[in-house]
Amino acid sequence: MKWTIHRLQVTHEKVGLRLDHFLADSSDELSRTQAKKIIDLGGTHINGRRIRSCSTSVCRGDLVEVYIDQLPLDPYRIAKHDILFQDQFIIVLNKPALVDTQPTHARFKGTMFEALQWHLKDPFRPQQKAEIGMVQRLDRGTSGIIVFSIHPRAHKEMSRIFLEHEVKKDYLALVHGVPAPKQGEIRSLLARSRRDNRVRSVAKGGKEAITQFNLVEQLIDYSLLNVEILTGRSHQIRAHMAEQNCPLVGDWRYGGCSLVDGIGISRPLLHAEKLAFRHPVLNQAMAFTVPVPEDMQNIINSLRKRNL
């Protein structure tokens, strides 16, 4: 999913306009209602600084940048059914696909981080922000289990658990083709290329990444894989499977298609199915499993029908 970026310079005749009026006046693509929502989400920046107040006045020469991520303008909020576990120390959530884990240029409001701040807000002290430890990140398109520490007593130990790989992370991935062999381990150094913003294996200078995979189900020209990552590098599964000539379905950035059996796909079909670790304060074994979301299940079901 690509961003649209509008860069607008404030000219003499528009000095002093409210920011929402300025955006609506300066762009044929934005209504005032849309402008208000984008500002509220955090997608508008003046001279490099995020501005979330519609009433802010623009000044002559200001550079106003508007980032639009093509996602719904209504912010994500944590629903009761999203919460797998919560105590005073940690919270485990079932993240929907197409929700960013952390703030981006296009939005602060509606990310997992901000939605969690909202969920944890103390009604008696609304100005006091909850302390959140972000020990794990999932790509925008990835659905499934994610855990946050939400108390100072949990932050350090939760970070150590992830840093020292004392956590078991299992994913389901729908990929093109069939890996050969059908199970194995991929080890490489991964680094991000500034040229195309893709992660790839390099001979030196990258970070070690270890991915284990096995075939769960072969679906003619596609495969459903169980993938366990022993490290947590950015785009690790996406890059490693693409390098096996088995890119994730829907992952256009790494060579996957965005249409299967006439069904459009808006994200890489990757689901964080299982997560297991020890509680950072209580030292109890914790294990969670969540089912595949509907969009991914529909594609799998469609491919199964072709197998019959």
Residues identified as active-site: 139
Q: What is the DSSP string of 136-166?
A: ----TT-EEEEEEE-SHHHHHHHHHHHHTT-
In the block, residue with structure tokens 């919460």: 83
Q: Which residues pair with 215 in a beta bridge?
A: 225
In the block, residue with structure tokens 């089912």: 291
Q: Which residues contact 89 (CB under 8 A, 6 or more apart)?
A: 149, 150, 151, 153, 154, 279, 280, 281, 282
**Tokens read off for 4:** 């649209």
Please state, in angstroms and rounded to a whole number, the distance separating the CA atoms of residues 67 and 79. Answer: 27
Helices 19-26 and 32-41: crossing angle in degrees, nearest 10, is 130
> Which region holds residue 255: left if phi is over 0, alpha if psi is between -120 and 50, else beta?
left
